[in-house]
Structure 1
Amino acid sequence: MSEMPDTSLSTTTAIILADPDREEAQQACSQIERILLDLKVSFTKQSPEDSALAWTGAKPDVAIVIGGDGTMISQTRRLVDHGIPMIGINCGRLGFLAPFSPETFEIHASSVLSENRKLEHRMMLQIQVQRSDGSETITRRAMNDGIITAGSPFRMIQMSTAMDGQQGPPLSGDGLVVATPTGSTGHSASTGGPIVDPRVEAIIVTPIAAQSLAFRPFALEGGSTLEVMLTQVNEGTSLVLDGQKRVQLHEHDRVRFARYSQPMGFVNCPGHPFWRILHDKLGWAAPPRGRDDTMSTP
């Protein structure tokens, strides 16, 4: 007779991060609270918009983040330095980074809060902007990507590159997407970059509307560094982090991309591997639609 898997709870405390002004998030929050109470897991609640994480007593074993992909991304930047893994509960439109619904969380709660839960560690980016005059160095983190975008008045910009200290090719175009494997399904994929399993450690570099047809997307080993110097910019040229934070860029500024020192832990939904989520939510490798599959007009 085979042994049953160990489902003894290793999670005794949790922090719930749910938007207090979003009705769907608060409804889901009530469901999650009930589940945690049934499992005798203590918890605190906090808004994702609060300036700092706070709890009383021991550090939470897990953060339960309720919202859409934007909420998931912003909370990784808050949680990573605390070493708190995240369970994502989707209340948004797509929910690519939030594999659980309140219903699937209830089904799998005992296992994902147990000692044998599957935890996936994903790399993040550390991005530094060094001003050309040496006046300051701005350091930020990103879960998905850092995008150098031409900006208004939308003339082509010019950049030089270096990989691991070695001179790379120049780039003229509308910008550059530098993504993690987690971010490879976002802006990077939309600009022609490859989709990469998030368990891989790599830095994915994808040009935006490059003048040279020979400048193709490529991937660097996760421990590599990429440095980009802006040699010709527009008034609106900037660095956009995870689609949420913006840093103005000036001529001869340098932007350095590297792996962040700490990975972010994600708790997976059992039976929902990356490629299945990619197919179900983004339609990856879906066959062409037939006549009867077309969208009906309202």
Structure 2
Amino acid sequence: MVSMSETKRVILIVNPVKIDKFSYFGEVISLLTANGCEVYTTADTYKVLDARKKVNLSGIGIVSSDEVKKSQFDLVICLGGDGTILSTARFFAGHKVPILGINLGNLGFLAEVMPSDYEKSIGRIFGGKDYQIEKRIMLKCTVERGRKKAHTLYALNDIVAHRRSSSKMAVLEAYIDNKFVDEYHGDGLIVSTPTGSTAYSLSCGGPIVAPELMAIIINPICAFTLSSRPLIVSDRVRIKIVNRTEGQAILAADNQEFFKLQKDDNIIITRSEFCARMIKFSENNFFDILRTKLCWGNFKKR
């Protein structure tokens, strides 16, 4: 466990669409300032909150996206669903700053805290009690077009290469450390972290992988042949996917950032040099979360 009693600079990241689900925003600001913190939020979030006229924003600083990238924070508090946390994790990946997720979404595998528990959870962080900072591996994806790098993406959940709406199947050759693995025909291919194993990969029949494992999942989407199966490999490998698709294909990072692929593009995927640092509490272990979210052990709710 890492003590955060010296935390001084905190930034609040909020999904503006879901902010009405959280009525304690002003209390969060007061709690943080009472613990000696400088509290900031983005200009977009401030604008949304100010328009509602429900929160006293006098004690909060405003920073632009460019200023956030250049600044150093001790803690990020993210209010939203898993999508908000994914984008926040990518944005702050190079900052090495821990993220506390307050769940304003639905399923919420990543958001650790329910809205009603915000006060206790934040108090535990500043008291240095019963929490740890869990490092989650991320992926780096580089698209090579000819002899040039065309684009780079980062992901906490997954990198997905898939066909666009057309009658033509995606055709993707996969290599691991320059060794040919398979040529996948179907809707596409998911390359997932353990964190992403409960996301898109799970809906495509992929395995659930404990988040502390250093592994990468390769999972075909609606494969044309039954012999194309999910594969778990070491996080140390270099994965190359060659796009042989005749129709349109696209690359997606966490289903939030996108890049149009061309035929014969090389997609290079490795473990990123960055990782996401998630604040976790002792009572919320991975299997409890699975049992709650997926209704394990309660047959009647399935």
Q: Does 1:71 align with 2:90?
A: no
Instruction: Name the structure 2 match of 1:54.
Output: 68
Q: Which residue of 2 aligns with 1:9?
A: 5
Q: CA deviation at 1:25?
A: 6.1
Please report the TM-score for the alignment, with normalisation by the length of structure 1.
0.86
Q: Answer whether contact 1:25 1:67 (CA < 8 A) is retained.
A: no
Query: What is the SS of the residue equivalent to 1:118?
Result: strand
Does structure 1 retain, via aligned residues, the 8 Å contact 2:2–2:133? no
**Equivalence for 1:90:** 103
Q: Are residues 1:262 and 2:274 paired?
A: yes
Counterparts of 1:45 and 1:86 in 2: how far apart (Å)? 14
Q: Which residue of 2 aligns with 1:38?
A: 34
How many residue pairs get matched?
Answer: 283
**The 10-residue stretch of structure 1 (65-74 or 147-156) with the greater mean CA deviation from structure 2:** 147-156
Looking at structure 2, the residues matched to 154 and 106 of structure 1 have their Cα atoms a distance apart, in angstroms, of: 52
Q: Partner of 2:93: helix, strand, or coil?
A: helix
Contact 1:7 1:111 in 2 (8 A): no
- The residue type paired with residue 42 of structure 2 is Q
State the secondary structure of the residue aligned to 1:54: helix
1:245 paired with 2:257, answer: yes
The Cα shift of 1:48 comes to 7.0
Structure 1 residue 181 corresponds to structure 2 residue 214? no
Structure 1 position 281, deviation (Å): 2.0
- Give the deviation of 1:147 after TM superposition: 0.8
Structure 2 equivalent of residue 218 of structure 1 = 231
Distance 1:32 1:216, change over 3 A: same
Change (3 A) 1:67 1:48: farther
Identify if the C-alpha distance between structure 1 residues 129 and 27 changes in structure 2 by more than 3 Å, giving closer, same or farther: same
When the two chains are superposed, the root-mean-square deviation of aligned CA atoms in Å is 2.5
Is the CA contact (8 Å cut-off) linking 1:126 and 1:140 kept in structure 2? yes
Q: Give 5+ residue unaligned stretches, structure 1.
A: none
Match in the other structure for 1:120? 134
Instruction: State how 1:185-196 maps to structure 2 within 5 Å.
Output: 185-196=198-209
Taking the aligned partners of 2:156 and 2:164, their CA distance within structure 1 comes to 22
Displacement of 1:17: 1.3
Aligned partner of 1:110 among 92, 100, 123: 123
Greater shift in the superposed pair: 93-102 or 137-146: 93-102
CA contact (8 A) 1:239 1:248 kept: yes
SS at match of 1:212: coil
Contact residue 172 and residue 189 of structure 2 kept, 8 A: no
1:167 corresponds to 2:180: yes
One-letter amino acid matched to 2:134 = E
